[in-house]
Amino acid sequence: MIDKARYRPSAPRWFNKVLRCALGTFLRLRFRIRPVGTEVFKHLKPPYVVVPTHHGVLDPFMVG
């Protein structure tokens, strides 16, 4: 039996949007992130998943 009353911590959606906008913009400018190989997307039909080539703590904000 699953306990539906369990506490699940999560941030409000507005906080995630503000954090993504502020931190994501800062990281893109700071590390000069530029997309490479975007011509591949012209031939694909959505939906598709964009995945970074390595795992890092800041990747979700940069790829976002």
pLDDT of residue 1: 53
Q: Please tell me the distance from the alpha carbon of residue 23 to that of residue 8, in angstroms, as a whole number.
A: 24
pLDDT of residue 34: 78
pLDDT of residue 2: 59
In the Cβ-directed half-sphere of 13, how many Cα atoms lie within 13 Å?
0
Q: What is the pTM of this model?
A: 0.43
User: For the segment 4-53, what is each residue's pLDDT rounded down to a tens digit?
Assistant: 677 777 778 888 888 888 888 888 888 887 778 888 878 888 887 877 77
pLDDT of residue 3: 62
Tokens of 64: 């976002």
